[in-house]
Amino acid sequence: MREASVNRGIISNLSAGSVLIGVNLAAIPVSILIAGASDYGAWAVSYGLITLLVQTDLGLASGLVRQLAHARHKDGAEEEGRLATAGLLLFIALAVTLGLLSLFVLPIYYSMAVDPIPHELAQQMTLTAAASVVVGLAGRYYIAIAQSYGQFGTERLAAVIGQIARLAILLVAVAASGNIFVVLIADLIGLTLLPLVLAPILYIRRYLSRPRIADRALGDSGRSLVRFSIPTFISSFSTLGAIQAPLYIVGAILGFSQAAGFSAIMRLYQSARTMTGWITGPSLPAASKASARSDREALRSLHWDSLSTSYLFALVIAAPLPFVAQKVLTLWLGEGFSDQSMALMLVGLTILINSVYAPGVVVATGAGRPGIVAGNNVIVLVLTVALSWLGATLAGVTGGAAGLLLGTALVFPFSQVRTTRVTGLKMTRVYLLLAPLTAISLVPGWVLSFTPLDRAPTVSVAASYGLTGIIICALALLLRRRAKAWVLKTP
C-alpha cells in the first residue's frame, strides 16, 4: 500500500511536472526575444537570487512536510494544527525578512557587474524580485501543506496554471512589441497564481484549518519545527548556492549577454533537479512513517525506487547531449548561443550526478536525519564558487560550468557514504546495474551522428531524444522487478 501511494505521487508529479518544465523552458527564448539578451541576462541573475531565497526557505518546507506527517502518524490532530500554524507564522516572518534583504543585495550586485544597467531598470528588477520572494515563500508554505497530505497533483496543477498564464502574457507581448517590464510582470504573476490557486483548494478540502494563534503550546511546536529545519536549511542553502553561484559569476565577469544563454542552461539544470525532487518528494512522508516503525527494509526500498527512477529520467535528458548539444541550443535559443554547447554537456553530467545523490538525502531526511550532508554541501559551495570563478576567468561560460561539475563531483562520494549509512542501500550493486544502462543510452545519439539525419538539426534532436527515451523506458519496464530484487538482496 505504501509503495502504491508513493508511486501514485511520483506519476502525478511527473505528469504535471513535465508540462510545467516544458512551459518554463519555452518561456526563456520568448523572454530573450522580448527583452534582449543583456536585459534578460540581468533579470535572469535576479531571478536566480529569488530561486535561492525561496527554495532554501530556512529548510521550513521540508521540515514542515516531515513534521506534519510524523505528527499525523504519532501525535494527533492537535499537534498537527499547531505545527501548521507555527509554519505559517515562520513563513510570514521569513518572507518579510528576505524580501527586504533582496532590496539591499541586488543593487549592490548590479553596481559590481561588468555591464551597467540603467538605474530605472535596476529599480524595477529589484522591486519585482523582492515581491517575487514574498509570494514565492507563500507558495512554499502551501506546497508543504499539500505535500504532507500527498496532494502532489494539486500542487503541480496550481504551478502549471501560473506558468501557462506567464507564457500567455509573454506571447501576447511578442505580438504587441513588449519590453523587459512585461517579462518582469509575467514572471511575478506566474509565481503569484500558485498560492492564489492552491490555498483555497486546501481550505475547501479541509487540509487547512483556522490558525491556532492563541494556542499556548504553539511556541513549543514552532521551536520543534525550527530545530528540525535548520540543519536542512544549511544543506539546501549550500546546494542551491552552488547552483546559482556560476550564473552570478558569469554575469559579473563576462557580462549579462553571456549570462542570458548560461541562465537558460542553468534553468535546464534546475528543472532537472526539480524533476528529481518531484520523484523523491513522495518518499519523504513515507520515509518518516518507515522510520517511526524502525523499518530499515522500507527505507532501503524507498531509496532504490527514487534513485532508479530519477537516474533514468536524468539519462533521457543528458545521454543525447554529447551528440546534439549544439543543435539543441541553436533550436532552443538561436545561433548566437550555440557556442555554449560544451557548457551544456558539462551541466548534463552534473544532472546525472545529482540524480544519484539527491534521493538518499530525501530519504535520510524523512528518516529523521535532516542536514546529514550539510557540512559536505558547504564544501561543495566553497569549491563551486572558487572553481567557477577561476574557470569563467580562464575559459568563459564553459569554465563556469566546469566549476559546477567539479565542485559537485569531488564531494559526491563522501556525501553518498553518509546517506547510505542511514538508508542501508548497497551502492556497489546499484552502480553495476546503472553502468550498462548508461552505456546503452548513449547508443542512439552515437549511431544517428553517422547518418544523414545528423545534417537536419530538428530531426536529429527529435530522433536522438525519442529513441533514447524509448530504449530507457523499455529497459526500465523489462528490468524493474528483477533489478530491484537483485539490488535489495541481502547476503
Note the pLDDT tens digit of each residue in 63-87. Answer: 888 777 777 666 566 767 777 888 8
- Kindly state the cell numbers that stand for 243: 547552483
Q: What is the pLDDT of residue 216?
A: 55
Q: What is the pLDDT of residue 341?
A: 95
Count of domains in the chain?
Answer: 1
Asked whether residue 30 carries a pLDDT value surpassing 80, the answer given is yes
Mean pLDDT, rounded, for 409-436: 90
**More confident call, 165 vs 80:** 165
Mean pLDDT, rounded, for 8-13: 60
Cα radius of gyration rounded to whole Å, the chain: 22
Asked whether residue 343 carries a pLDDT value surpassing 90, the answer given is yes
Q: In the 3-class helix/strand/coil scheme, how is the chain assigned residue by residue?
A: CHHHHHHHHHHHHHHHHHHHHHHHHHHHHHHHHHHCHHHHHHHHHHHHHHHHHHHHHHHHHHHHHHHHHHHHHHCCHHHHHHHHHHHHHHHHHHHHHHHHHHHHHHHHHHHHCCCCCCHHHHHHHHHHHHHHHHHHHHHHHHHHHHHHCCCHHHHHHHHHHHHHHHHHHHHHHHHCCCCHHHHHHHHHHHHHHHHHHHHHHHHHCCCCCCCCCCCCCHHHHHHHHHHHHHHHHHHHHHHHHHHHHHHHHHHHHHCHHHHHHHHHHHHHHHHHHHHHHHHHCCHHHHHHHHHHCCCHHHHHHHHHHHHHHHHHHHHHHHCCHHHHHHHHHHHHCCHHHHHHHHHHHHHHHHHHHHHHHHHHHHHHHHCCCCCCCHHHHHHHHHHHHHHHHHHHHHHHHHHHHHHHHHHHHHHHHHHHHHHHHHHCCCHHHHHHHHHHHHHHHCHHHHHHCCCHHHHCHHHHHHHHHHHHHHHHHHHHHHHHHHHHHHHHCCC
pTM: 0.83
Q: How far is CA 397 from CA 44, 144, 260, 261, 402, in A?
A: 15, 35, 11, 9, 9
Split at pLDDT 50, 70, 90, the class of 49 is confident
How do residues 247-302 score in pLDDT, each as one tens digit?
A: 999 998 998 889 999 999 998 998 888 888 778 777 777 787 777 777 788 888 88
Split at pLDDT 50, 70, 90, the class of 1 is very low
Range of the domain at 422: 2-488
